[in-house]
Structure 1
Amino acid sequence: MPEPNKDEWEQIAKDYDEKWNYLHCIGALDSKHVQIRCPAGAGSLYYNYKGIYAIVLLALVAANYKFTLVDVGAYGKNSDGGTFERSEMGKRFESNKYAVPKDKELLPAMEIPYVIIADEAFPLKAYLMHPYSKAAITSDEEKVYNCRHSRARRTVENAFRILAGRWRIFLKPIETKPEIADLIVLASTCLHNMLRNTSTNISLFEGQIRMESEHIHGVANLEPIRRNFVREVAITRDKLKKYFVSDYGSASCPWQWHSIRKSRVAPRRVQYYLLNTRIRYNRPF
């Protein structure tokens, strides 16, 4: 698929700001493990943590669920972060080879770059944001950032769900060689983008995905992954956090403070007591 130019990157960022309330985002990044039949003599190269043989579809997705950049064919045993760093996409982002727009000043004396958003399986970089670790959150401002991050990052998960719902071959192992499976996956992403451009009807499964995305603002529970990184790399995320809680950034999301307070989970003993109380008195959940 064609590489976006500067104007197209800016349009993607504008769409993320308008639809998902995350500014300067040029895409959500994630990987999908596509199950295949174990190739002869492959050993454990394609065997992944889910206990299946798979190739990896690494994708950068725009705000409208279209695939912007994809990389297909990595071994299933590789981690998401390792797959990204070894991919051509990751190498080009690392060396700043894409026509990504330059930083812009959004608050006085605060320039914020254009970034990619991902989950904690990917490393934190100046251009690649992942949420604050759940085990290390110290303030409501960090929870607000995670809430906005989680809401915008859901686009890549929704794109994978739409892809699998439309092309049923993804619901079972692909019975062919890995090289052919790579071409099938690439072709399906191109057809997916073509249908996103031409189709005016919303299928049942896509309508449900949109409804869930618009009404669920909570933060998904993310397993903490501890890793060392240079403090300067986290400055960009802190800038975004500061913008989201400022008067400028919170104007488009008046629900964010209520959302993080509503998503607070009671201790297990309290949950157990409430459950028994509701059952005993036949109260609705």
Structure 2
Amino acid sequence: MKFFSYYRMSYTSFNILLTAVQDEVYHNNIVSYRYLATGNSFASLHFEYLLGQTTIREIVRDTCIAIWECLVSIYMPPKNTDDKRTNFPNCIGAIDGKHIKIKKPASSGSEFFNYKCFFSTVLLGVANSDYCFTSIEVGAYGSASDSNIFKKSKFGSLLEKGQLNIPGPTLLPNEETGTVMPFIILGDEAFATSEHILRPYPSKNLSVTKRVFNYRRSRARRMVECSFGILAGKLRILNRPLDTSLELSDIIIKACCILHNFIRKHDGVCFEDSLYECHLDNMYPVGTRGTVRGIHIRDYFAKYFTSPQGTVHWQYDKI
């Protein structure tokens, strides 16, 4: 129990991690895991481990790079099938962006200054129902919006071009005839509706069909909110401003995300983790215009959820 509190992972998982990165890291990297798990400053770790602050900074950098390079192909494979537990067919994940507090980069002006009035970089992530990230994008300006970041990201570009390893459009469950629907990712109001991204219907005075769709979307999309909350609760370095260079901040964030997946796989799912309140700030929604194709797909899903083939018995009690 003491070991788990100190490194935020089990002793068995810790040994597996050390073995995975031992060929890439040639110095004592224990201090790096303590830094990520607790968020202690380099100054406090200097007194705890009797190492120079510059030395600790270099150890953290090398270890985080090794963690990402050694684990990403194993613990962050792209999602290419839908998840039955979400009760949202053809859904391969949910997407969201969070502000990670950073120290103001030199000569950056207001590029990283966000609407919450602090400096940040954006972590854009796609998560599945296991509360694991399947894709992340790090390093965007804090002043940017989710939708623009997604459009410029490698994942978003591949998704729109149809170059990701996901199946083609299929009929929805229990449908013998109808229109084939593409595999989609669920977003919030900050994203534009498109062929592969579905956002909720806006405004309050909605029909029952649209309210049911918003409920089903919200219920399925909570996995990404829980993932960010568990990430920030497990690796506490993300709960305070990163007082490092912008390049090192991006490396640390990527290492935290892949470590999050690693711990989820080896230490299992703890229900209390999903109840942690996320201290990361949401992105600010801006005006985003959806495509005609995306709006048609959203309307089709909305009608499907109120049909005998797609309804669930509790949905009308939740709207």
TM-score above 0.5: yes
In the TM superposition, structure 1's runs of 4+ consecutive aligned residues that sit over 3 Å from their partners are: 2-5, 223-230
Residues 1:71 and 2:137 aligned together: yes
1:90 maps to what in 2? 156
CA–CA distance in structure 1, aligned partners of residues 155 and 88 of structure 2: 22
CA–CA distance in structure 1, aligned partners of residues 235 and 130 of structure 2: 18
Query: Does structure 2 retain, via aligned residues, the 8 Å contact 1:36–1:55?
Result: yes
Residues 1:112 and 2:181 aligned together: yes
Offset of residue 226 of structure 1: 5.3
Distance 1:146 1:36, change over 3 A: same
Offset of residue 110 of structure 1: 2.1
Residues 1:9 and 2:80 aligned together: yes
Say which SS state the counterpart of residue 104 (structure 1) adopts: coil
CA–CA distance in structure 2, aligned partners of residues 39 and 209 of structure 1: 30
Pick one of 266, 272, 278 that aligns with 1:204: 272
1:147 maps to what in 2? 215
Identity %: 35
1:258 maps to what in 2? 317
Offset of residue 224 of structure 1: 8.7
CA–CA distance in structure 2, aligned partners of residues 159 and 134 of structure 1: 27
CA–CA distance in structure 1, aligned partners of residues 92 and 146 of structure 2: 19
What whole-Å deviation, never above 9, does each CA across 1:151-196 have from its counterpart, x for those lacking one?
1111111100000001111111011011001000000111111111
Alignment of 1:181-220 (within 5 A): 181-200=249-268, 202=270, 204-206=272-274, 208=275
Say which SS state the counterpart of residue 300 (structure 2) adopts: helix
Query: Does structure 2 retain, via aligned residues, the 8 Å contact 1:33–1:56?
Result: yes
Residues 1:243 and 2:304 aligned together: yes
CA–CA distance in structure 1, aligned partners of residues 127 and 108 of structure 2: 30
Alignment of 1:227-242 (within 5 A): 227-242=288-303
Offset of residue 96 of structure 1: 1.2
Offset of residue 134 of structure 1: 2.0
Say which SS state the counterpart of residue 154 (structure 1) adopts: helix
Query: Does structure 1 retain, via aligned residues, the 8 Å contact 2:145–2:286?
Result: no
Query: Does structure 2 retain, via aligned residues, the 8 Å contact 1:144–1:241?
Result: yes
What letter corresponds to residue 169 of structure 1 in structure 2? I
In angstroms, what is the RMSD of aligned CA positions?
Answer: 2.0
1:122 maps to what in 2? 191
What whole-Å deviation, never above 9, does each CA across 1:181-221 have from its counterpart, x for those lacking one?
10000001111111111113616333x369xxxxxxxxxxx
Pick one of 237, 242, 246 that aligns with 1:169: 237
1:276 maps to what in 2? none
1:132 maps to what in 2? 201
Say which SS state the counterpart of residue 42 (structure 1) adopts: coil
What letter corresponds to residue 166 of structure 1 in structure 2? K
Say which SS state the counterpart of residue 242 (structure 1) adopts: helix
Query: Does structure 2 retain, via aligned residues, the 8 Å contact 1:133–1:224?
Result: no
2:103 maps to what in 1? 37
Pick one of 107, 125, 130 that aligns with 1:59: 125
Offset of residue 52 of structure 1: 0.9
Pick one of 146, 165, 190 that aligns with 1:99: 165
* Number of aligned residues: 237
User: Structure 2 regions of 5+ residues with no counterpart?
Assistant: 1-71, 278-283
Distance 1:162 1:228, change over 3 A: closer
User: Structure 1 regions of 5+ residues with no counterpart?
Assistant: 211-222, 261-285
